[in-house]
Chain A
Amino acid sequence: MKRALRVDWPACHARGVCHELLPEVVDLDEWGYPIVGGEVTPELLGLAREAVRMCPRLALRIVET
């Protein structure tokens, strides 16, 4: 089972914490909103969970794909 990050778009206010914690997976667009690319590999899972926990808008989830 693969894992990915999914954004709750109405909740996201472009604070950018996810990008700071997980630049391997999260880029930012020109307005500061996350561009989520690629899989959350087992090595990145810890950081991904941290990004979910630290999002000030609680706008991130890890979903199984």
Chain B
Amino acid sequence: MNSSPIAVCEDPDVHAGPALFSGLDSGPSLAAHREQYGDVPRISLADLTAAIDRTGLRGRGGAAFPFAIKLRAAADGSRRPVVVINLSEGEPASSKDSALARTRPHLVLDGAVATARALGAHAVHVVLPGDRPLTVAAMDAAIAERHDRRMRLVRHVASPRFVAGQARAVLELMAGRPNLPVTAWTPEAVAGHRSRPTLLSNAETWAHVGRLLHTGPPAGLGTDDEPGTTLLTLRLPGARVAVREVQYGASLRSVLPAKDDAAVLLGGFHGTWTTARAARRLKVSVPGFRESGLALGAGLVLAVDDCPVAWTQRIVAYLAGQSARRCGPCLNGLPALAAAVSAIDDGTGTARVEQLAGLVERRGACAHPDGTVRLVRSLLTAYPDEIDRHGAGHCSWTRQATVVRRLRSVAS
């Protein structure tokens, strides 16, 4: 199986930020956290819902789903809800949840615990990433510091697999079944863990809930339409991996290298390619990215100074191997798509790529095929000339590869 073209980084540089990443110097301990913020906020469901409505909080796992809709659905059920913190970020290139676990674990836990109390839930489930031992250790240490008899913290460790962090796969894990996606006939906020309303959100989402309940709405941060901040994982050529808290509306220019020939992958492996020149004109915004045909996704900003076609070939080969192998179109279609994307170098064109993209999209239990298609389509959109160049045996970034291909064609 192809390994990830980018290794997991659990130890990114974490820069001080205006909200979640304020007061980093005092460390991640519960004592320091209580010193900065005070006790777990007590809030009624009505006040919580109103506070969430005012900020328009969206989920930070990648889909940017409005948190208020999930919260209302979970509250409206007739059975006692379940609250889940999902730290099992499947994107190998993303480090924001690891950064939160290692610097702000109690802000994450406070957000979920306060919400669980408001909902009348008795337990908060914490789902940890199986391939990130430092993240697991950090959350375990934080959980061990807390003693609340009325709110159980139940930990689970997800499989080290790209799709293991997908919501339904997480519910399968919690139910003691294989940690793989299954078909969702109803939203998990309506019927999730043991058919109970289940409010499952990403660690960063819970950290924002925690911050909101402790300090109120993020005054002066972000824009009118998108208040507050978001976390970006920055992977730039020649630099250490960094996680930065930026305001919505901030220009990407401030975090990107000045080189115009860099290719930029936004969002994650399920994200979108663009050029550094186009990326620097963007402002950090979920709808703004969407209007440009791009995805903020899980907040990855990966700039590379080599070929985006070659990168996509490696990433799609990896993603094909990460299929849970349960859904036919994904099981058959992703390896075929990976082969078709590789065959661009042989001059076969992109017709087969487009055909396979259409065949796998929206035909699976989870968003893995859709995300893979999003990545591939964005390459076709952002780099049409480079794809033609590859088809003709050239590459703007790698002279060496061109020579190798010429030699190969001479030999055959």
Binding site for B on A (CB under 8 A): 7-14, 29-33, 35, 61
Residue numbers in A under 8 Å from B328 (CB-CB): 9, 12-14, 31-33
Would you call A10 and B359 a contact (CB within 8 A)?
A: no
Residue among B180, B332, B364 making CB contact with A31, cutoff 8 Å: B332
Per-residue contact bits, chain B 150-182, to A (CB 8 Å; 1 contact, 0 not): 000000000000000000000000000000111
Jot down 11 A-B pairs with beta carbons below 8 A, ordered by A: A9-B329, A9-B365, A10-B324, A10-B326, A10-B327, A10-B365, A11-B183, A12-B327, A12-B328, A33-B332, A35-B359
**Closest chain A residue to B360, Cβ basis:** A29
What 8 A-B pairs come out closest when comparing CB atoms? Answer: A9-B327, A10-B326, A33-B328, A31-B332, A8-B183, A9-B365, A9-B364, A10-B365
Q: How long is the Cα–Cα vector from A35 to B181 in the complex, in angstroms?
A: 20
For the side of the interface on B, what is the size category? 10 to 19
Contacts of A8 in B (CB 8 A): 183, 365
Q: Name the CB-closest residue of A to B366.
A: A9
Distance in angstroms from B356 CB to nearest chain A CB is 9
Query: Given B183, B185, B359, which contacts A9 in the complex, CB threshold below 8 Å?
Result: B183
Binding site secondary structure of chain A: loop
Classify the interface of chain B: helix, strand, loop or mixed: loop
Residues of A within 8 A of B326 (CB): 9-10
Find chain B residues with CB under 8 A from A10 CB. Answer: 180-183, 324, 326-327, 365
Extra contacts besides A9-B329, A29-B359 (7): CB < 8 Å: A9-B365, A10-B182, A11-B183, A12-B327, A31-B329, A31-B333, A35-B363
Q: Name the CB-closest residue of B to A7.
A: B363
Complex CA distance for A13 and B333, rounded to whole angstroms: 14
B100, chain A: closest CB distance, angstroms: 31
B363 to chain A: closest residue by CB? A9
- By a CB distance below 8 angstroms, the chain B residues around A29 are 329, 359
Q: Bound complex: CA of A33 vs CA of B333, how far in Å? A: 11
- A7 vs B183: C-alpha distance in the bound complex, in angstroms? 9
Chain A residues within 8 Å of B329, by CB? 9, 29, 31, 33
- Inter-subunit contact B185/A61 (CB<8 Å): yes
What A residues does B180 contact at CB under 8 A? 10
Q: Which residues of A contact B324 (CB under 8 A)?
A: 10
Measured between C-beta atoms, what is the minimum distance from A28 to chain B in Å? 11
A8 to B330, CA, bound (A): 13
Give the distance in Å from the alpha carbon of A34 to the alpha carbon of B363 in the complex: 9
Over the window 57-100 of chain B, the binary record of Cβ atoms lying under 8 Å from chain A Cβ atoms (1 yes, 0 no) is: 00000000000000000000000000000000000000000000
